[in-house]
Amino acid sequence: MIGNPTRGIFERAVAAAEKARYCVAFSSGSAATSAVVHLLSHGQRILSIDDVYGGTQRYFRKIVRPHMGIDVDFVDFDDDIAVSSMLPSSDDDAGRTGLLWLETPTNPTLRVTDIRKVSKLARRVGAILAVDNTFCSPYFQNPLEHGADVVVHSVTKYINGHSDVVMGVACTNDANIYEKLRFVQNGVGAVPSPFDCYLAHRGLKTLHLRMEASAR
């Protein structure tokens, strides 16, 4: 679980596509999401976009909130009044809000949020901004360039593209976040098989053709 050459090559390829320094692969998109939540500690809080993917919503509401001692609130990041009531000044928050979770465009309603605007909110309270970039894929959008700290993908969808693999990734430019994600990947063990990494790497090679075709 500590390392595998096929997995390492796939991670390097996705990092290049996402214009990230680092990429860590997981056995599903949901496992990548949960690895990012593992960056937080008991007593902290997540502020998530309200229109988040159903599986992420269920994980936040039914597992993280009741079982991990991490609070989760949901907000429409385009609603400035709601955001200001949910996100206090950094003095009031005192590091409690550890993670802003954004998905843009959302699955399945395709709602789009300004990543740069939300990244400024994250900086204000000292939170990590994670963006689920599954629906644009790295071909159309690279959230790290717009202020995100972590980008998550369900590789199951566009990156693999052949409906024969379940996998996920988390990408970052931050060496500290990368070390923690690598530690969680190894310690929790939700790793993809070498063969799945081989298949997903094969899929990645046609991402540009498939995204052009699906955007037509």
> Which residues of the chain form contacts with ligand PLP (CB under 6 A)?
28-30, 53, 55-56, 103, 107, 132, 134-135, 154, 156-157, 166, 168
Closer to ligand PLP by CB, 44 or 48: give it: 48
Q: How far is the CB of 96 from ligand PLP (least distance, A)?
A: 25
Q: How far is the CB of 144 from ligand PLP (least distance, A)?
A: 17
Q: How far is the CB of 33 from ligand PLP (least distance, A)?
A: 6
> For strand 45-49 and strand 97-103, is the pairing parallel, antiparallel, or unpaired?
parallel
Q: How far is the CB of 204 from ligand PLP (least distance, A)?
A: 15
Q: Which residue has the tokens 């990947």?
A: 185
Q: How far is the CB of 155 from ligand PLP (least distance, A)?
A: 7
Which pair of tokens denotes residue 79?
Answer: 């609603």
Closer to ligand PLP by CB, 111 or 117: give it: 111
Closer to ligand PLP by CB, 81 or 215: give it: 215
**Buried residues in 97-110 as b, exposed as e (16+ CB within 10 A):** bbbbbbbbbbbeee
Own/partner contacts of 86-94, CB < 8 Å, gap of 24 or more, are 86/47, 87/47, 87/121, 87/124, 87/125, 88/125, 89/124, 89/125, 90/124, 90/125, 90/126, 93/125, 93/126
Q: Distance (Å, rounded) from C-alpha 35 to C-alpha 188?
A: 8
Helices (H) and strands (E) in the chain, counts: 11, 7
Closer to ligand PLP by CB, 125 or 165: give it: 165
Closer to ligand PLP by CB, 18 or 125: give it: 18
Q: Which residue is nearest to ligand PLP (CB)?
A: 29
